[in-house]
Amino acid sequence: MRRSMVSATGLAAALFCLSITAQAADKPRQAARPTGPTSAEVLAASTPTDWRSPDPENLLYMDLAQGRVIIELAPAFAPAHADNIRKLVREGWFDGLAVDRVQDNYVTQWGDADGTRTPKTAQTKLAPEFVVRGPALAKLPFTPLPDRDTYAPEAGFSDGFPAARDRKGGQAWLVHCYGMVGVGRDMALDSGSGAELYAVIGQAPRHLDRNITVVGRVLRGMEVLSALPRGKAAMGFYDKPEDRIPITQVRLAADLPADQRENLIVLRTDTPTWAAYVESRRNRREEFFPIPAGHIDVCNMPLPVRTLDATKDRGR
Amino acid sequence: MRRSMVSATGLAAALFCLSITAQAADKPRQAARPTGPTSAEVLAASTPTDWRSPDPENLLYMDLAQGRVIIELAPAFAPAHADNIRKLVREGWFDGLAVDRVQDNYVTQWGDADGTRTPKTAQTKLAPEFVVRGPALAKLPFTPLPDRDTYAPEAGFSDGFPAARDRKGGQAWLVHCYGMVGVGRDMALDSGSGAELYAVIGQAPRHLDRNITVVGRVLRGMEVLSALPRGKAAMGFYDKPEDRIPITQVRLAADLPADQRENLIVLRTDTPTWAAYVESRRNRREEFFPIPAGHIDVCNMPLPVRTLDATKDRGR
């Protein structure tokens, strides 16, 4: 009786490519199944120009005993915070600090929980960079999604980062999708500096958008942050200091010799390939889906990331 | 230097009640901060009639070494599947089976991965219950949210379950929010039975809506399912059988003596209190938020759950 195992595989077909005509027992109302390439086929047909190599000045490697987390900073949205985080990393700020909070369906947070350290070169507070306005907005790449968004007039992608835009209000901002990295702050809007950071580990907490500086996203290693034990104290803090998860070190890719860098490439979000990828996820072509959604939320678009040198994938 | 610790608390103020006027350094465009009770104040002011006690025939207690998961079945949406799952539980189907798949930002899945068992009393396949139509639809309670939804004409709640409705198309369905429980199936639409189930552990995979039978939701214990190690094989399956997470047992509350039942109560979703709770989350009144979102996604509305007998909360 293989049903259950097959069943499991069937569910997961969501993510994979199968191009057989559906047998519609519960006959869908739609006239016909969508045609066109699946997500896997779009990616298989991509060419090198569809991908970009993130700037090593924007790549953080955060090492925990549990594994490596790679974060890409977004200076187009938060230049001062990205700069301050580079300074913090370069002075070894995070080395020996810890993940001190894991709140289920919300955030994993790390940094200087006890407030015992003072940065040597970095700022301790910064003006908020919650939204982009003015000349910076005009320069910002933005590829809108075709579908409405619950929270914003427009949602889409800016150089690989999920973002929203309000053209009437003259502003754009990064949105709190799964894996986005933000800057912890106190009540004062300028109290964040990057000395404490968090990553979203659940349903996108979009109410945080425009209320906090979002500074980047996890490109690889989210499962390191999302599978940590949840803290038992209020708001998911670890109630005992010894439960905290130590950070071995955080390094900037630019500061490492070439042979110690991970050659990640990321799918560009301003190409016809990206548009085809979006469409393959708006209307799944895999057999598993008799009813394609016909819509996509900005936080349901995964960002494809690959290792350029395939040999580096070994052992991961 | 207390900033970082305060910073952490500040971020989490999202969930808690503080009623001080914001000091808007980055001056919000909105004219005034929203007034009215916070979420915590709405719940504090609720009365016993704002809460319901789930039917013990719909409550599953799933025990793992890591803790207890309590699931409420939704027979209004999937009566045949709810009934079949009761049969499976009563014949001890899940006892000694295991969680065999944890895919990051997607699902935790459990059941008969190896397909070695055959149910004694339960069906092995069932007609799909992907949507509700006809007379059952007319009887379905439905409290719409005031905001648009990315995926459906209308989104809201039906007796505590997040749901969507298409009045023109004459159908309603449960939506795949964090913590919702669905029925694994093969490609054949009638191949699911409840012998293998999954819970959503990441961003709502709404493309699964109407393509699979959703049968309930986790009321308590999501952190047991969401913090499990991610499987390293394709689609998050555990590559070694010994990595699987054993299920000690699953029981129906109705089959337990009263003193072994957990007296959970759940906030009703068809009351003025619920409407006030929704509004308190559409426009956060806490000081932390200078820019209230003004919108809410159906998957960003947590369902308040309490233990009626407060003494039972101890030690959890």
**Interface residue B6 vs chain A (CB under 8 A):** yes
Range from A17-31, A127-141, A253-267, B61-75 carrying the lowest mean pLDDT: A17-31
Q: Which H or E run contains A226?
A: helix A222-226
pLDDT digits (tens, 9 = 90+) for A62-93: 999 999 999 999 999 999 999 999 999 999 99
Average of per-residue pLDDT across A35-48: 95
Q: Which residue has the higher pLDDT, A86 or A1?
A: A86
Query: What per-residue confidence (pLDDT) applies to A308?
Result: 87
Average of per-residue pLDDT across B258-284: 97
Average of per-residue pLDDT across A125-148: 96
Residue B315 has pLDDT above 80, yes or no: no
Domain A59-264: CATH class, spelled out: mainly beta
Residue B127 has pLDDT above 90, yes or no: yes
Q: How far apart are CA A39 and CA B31, in angstroms?
A: 44
Residue B180 has pLDDT above 60, yes or no: yes
Q: Sign of the CA dihedral A79, A85, A89, A91?
A: positive
With a pLDDT cut of 70, the percent of chain B lying above it is: 87
Beta strands in chain B (DSSP E): 51-52, 59-64, 67-73, 98-103, 107-111, 143-144, 154-158, 161-166, 171-174, 180-183, 196-200, 214-220, 245-252, 264-267, 305-307
Paired residues of A107 in beta bridges: A103, A200
Query: What per-residue confidence (pLDDT) applies to B113?
Result: 78
- The full 3-state SS of A34-75, as one line of letters, equals CCCCCHHHHHHCCCHHHEECCCHHHEEEEEECCEEEEEEECC
Residue B24 has pLDDT above 50, yes or no: no
Question: How sure is the predictor about A113, in pLDDT bands with cuts at 50, 70 and 90?
Answer: confident
With a pLDDT cut of 70, the percent of chain A lying above it is: 87
Range from A247-261, A271-285, B20-34 carrying the lowest mean pLDDT: B20-34
Q: Which two tokens stand for residue A208?
A: 């945080």
Question: How sure is the predictor about B309, in pLDDT bands with cuts at 50, 70 and 90?
Answer: low
Residue of chain B nearest A18, judged by CA positions: B187
Query: What per-residue confidence (pLDDT) applies to B12?
Result: 39
* Option in A2, A227, A288 nearest B211 (CB): A288
Average of per-residue pLDDT across B203-214: 98
Residue A285: alpha-carbon gap to chain centroid = 25
Question: How sure is the predictor about A57, in pLDDT bands with cuts at 50, 70 and 90?
Answer: very high
Question: How sure is the predictor about B35, in pLDDT bands with cuts at 50, 70 and 90?
Answer: confident
Task: State the nearest Cα–Cα gap between A254 and chain B, in angstroms.
Answer: 27
Query: What per-residue confidence (pLDDT) applies to B32?
Result: 62
Query: What per-residue confidence (pLDDT) applies to B122?
Result: 96
Query: What per-residue confidence (pLDDT) applies to A34?
Result: 74
Assign B64 to helix, strand or coil.
strand
**Interface residue B25 vs chain A (CB under 8 A):** yes
Average of per-residue pLDDT across B19-48: 68
Q: List the 66-105 stretch of B: residues with Cβ below 8 A of A.
A: 100-105
Average of per-residue pLDDT across B284-305: 94
Query: What per-residue confidence (pLDDT) applies to B10?
Result: 40
Specify the domain boundaries for CATH 2.40.100.10 within chain B.
Answer: 54-262
B191 and A9 in contact by Cβ < 8 A? Answer: no
* Option in A104, A112, A130 nearest B222 (CB): A104
Query: Please, which residues have CB within 8 angstroms of residue A48's CB and are 6 or more apart in sequence?
Result: none
Residue A97 has pLDDT above 50, yes or no: yes
Residue of chain A nearest B19, judged by CA positions: A187
**Interface residue B1 vs chain A (CB under 8 A):** yes
Query: Whole-prediction pTM value?
Result: 0.90
pLDDT digits (tens, 9 = 90+) for A165-184: 999 999 999 999 999 999 99
Question: How sure is the predictor about B25, in pLDDT bands with cuts at 50, 70 and 90?
Answer: very low
Q: How far apart are CA A287 and CA A12, in angstroms?
A: 11
Q: How far apart are CA B77 and CA B73, in angstroms?
A: 9
Q: List the 185-204 stretch of A: residues with Cβ below 8 A of B.
A: 185-193, 195-196, 198, 202-204
B211 and A290 in contact by Cβ < 8 A? Answer: yes
Nearest to A8 by CA among B283, B100, B163, B78: B100
**What count of other Cβ atoms lies within 10 Å of the Cβ of residue B26?**
16
B113 and A5 in contact by Cβ < 8 A? Answer: yes
Specify the domain boundaries for CATH 2.40.100.10 within chain A.
Answer: 59-264
Domain B54-262: CATH class, spelled out: mainly beta
Residue A11 has pLDDT above 80, yes or no: no
Q: Which residue has the higher pLDDT, B30 or A270?
A: A270
Q: Which residue has the higher pLDDT, B11 or B304?
A: B304
Query: What per-residue confidence (pLDDT) applies to B310?
Result: 53
pLDDT digits (tens, 9 = 90+) for B63-108: 999 999 999 999 999 999 999 999 999 999 999 999 999 999 999 9
Query: What per-residue confidence (pLDDT) applies to B308?
Result: 87
Task: Confirm if A287 and A20 have CB atoms less than 8 A apart.
Answer: yes
Q: Which H or E run contains B241?
A: none
Beta strands in B35-96 (DSSP E): 51-52, 59-64, 67-73
